[in-house]
């Protein structure tokens, strides 16, 4: 089966998989004890899009996270009447088993001020560092040339931000500007005392490519330098 935007996490000895489906109308999960068995593991549909209004179009790039003792799925969605009004939304599992228990809609991630999520915003990833929660996402600049940047913010809890968004990267280099000026699809890797953030750049297709940032995990992650 064709799947885009794959995301895998390992929790309690089990591998969990989610991804965008070609119809962009639902969120699925798979679970396996072995990474290479995920491709043949049956899927469970945990949520379906709305018929109208928010979360009714372009259900993209879900990520499954286990945070503060609960399961969460972060995903992007639009409105059937305004398909490109893409914003980041959250589901919270009401039980311990993400494939069997009920998922509750928590709405859009709550910003700390009026400046976040005012335009096309997607690909949110969430991570813990030094006891604090952070998120990174892609958002378009809504004035002048449409540019997709990466922003970072600290989180008060898995559902809301506690800091203003900070511009982390913007497509400055030629390899980030082929077709469109794009930074998107952030993902966090941790190794020892370093954090690595990979991201996608340029137009999807032959020019699509991956960049990477790194930082000492013990420093101020909200400082773009």
β-bridge partners, 33: none
Specify the length of the chain in residues. 225
Tell me which residue of 33, 32, 50, 34 sits closest to 42, measured CA to CA: 32
User: Is 5 an annotated catalytic residue?
Assistant: yes
Give the CA distances from residue 217 to residues 151, 162, 179, in Å, rounded to whole numbers and listed in that order: 17, 19, 34
User: Is 184 an annotated catalytic residue?
Assistant: yes
Query: Helix (H, G, I), strand (E, B), or coil: what is residue 172?
Result: coil
How far apart CA 207 and CA 187 sit, in angstroms, is 19
How far apart CA 17 and CA 6 sit, in angstroms, is 7
Catalytic residue among 82, 184, 207, 216: 184
Catalytic residue among 5, 43, 160, 203: 5
Give catalytic residue positions.
Answer: 5, 184
């Amino acid at each position: 089966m064709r799947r885009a935007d794959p995301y895998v996490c390992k929790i309690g000895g089990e591998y969990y998989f989610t991804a965008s489906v070609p119809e962009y109308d639902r969120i699925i999960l798979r679970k396996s004890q072995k990474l290479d068995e995920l491709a043949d593991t049956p899927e469970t549909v945990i949520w379906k899009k709305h018929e109208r209004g928010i979360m009714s179009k372009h259900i993209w790039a879900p990520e499954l996270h286990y945070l503060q003792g609960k399961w969460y799925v972060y995903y992007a969605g639009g409105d059937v009447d305004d398909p490109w009004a893409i914003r980041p939304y959250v589901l919270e599992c009401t039980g311990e088993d993400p494939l069997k228990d009920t998922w509750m809609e928590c709405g859009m991630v709550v910003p700390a001020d009026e400046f976040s999520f005012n335009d096309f915003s997607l690909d949110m990833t969430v991570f813990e560092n030094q006891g604090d929660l952070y998120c990174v996402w892609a958002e378009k600049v809504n004035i002048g040339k449409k540019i997709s940047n990466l922003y970072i913010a600290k989180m008060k809890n898995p559902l809301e931000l506690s800091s203003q968004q900070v511009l982390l990267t913007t497509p400055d280099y030629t390899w980030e500007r082929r077709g469109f000026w794009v930074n998107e699809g952030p993902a966090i890797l941790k190794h020892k005392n370093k954090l690595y953030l990979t991201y996608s750049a340029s137009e999807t297709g032959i020019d699509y490519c991956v960049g990477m940032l790194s930082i000492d995990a013990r420093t101020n992650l909200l400082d773009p330098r």
